[in-house]
Amino acid sequence: MIYRLFGVNLKWLQSLAHIFWEQTLKDLGLCPSLLYKIKRLQVFGIQTDELWSFIQKKANKRWIWVAYDPIHRLVIGYHLGGRGKKAAKKFWKKIPLV
């Protein structure tokens, strides 16, 4: 339902996700034992979420974008700013390739 929140077309969002997936490195530099555990669990991925807060008054909203690795329980990247396409691109650039 994130496409509804951003007011974008679902097919556009799916194509954007596909583009990002194609740019993801095939070898993420994980050790063989960790790869085995991941394959057994059939779980791998980075979860993303956003939330908002405000500064002094509710009209001054600031969005917090977070990328999280649930396996290692680590924050991979974050971005503070707006909620539009420009902020989404800035957030994506802050997520490390490896």
Tell me which of 14-28, 29-43, 84-98 is least confident. 29-43
Q: Which residue has the higher pLDDT, 13 or 4?
A: 13
**Could you give the CA distance from residue 52 to residue 66 in angstroms, rounded to a whole number?**
11
Percent of the chain's residues with pLDDT above 70:
81
Mean pLDDT within 49-73: 79
pLDDT of residue 17 exceeding 60: yes
Residue 13: per-residue pLDDT: 78
Residue 84: per-residue pLDDT: 85
**Could you give the CA distance from residue 92 to residue 90 in angstroms, rounded to a whole number?**
5
Mean pLDDT within 56-62: 78
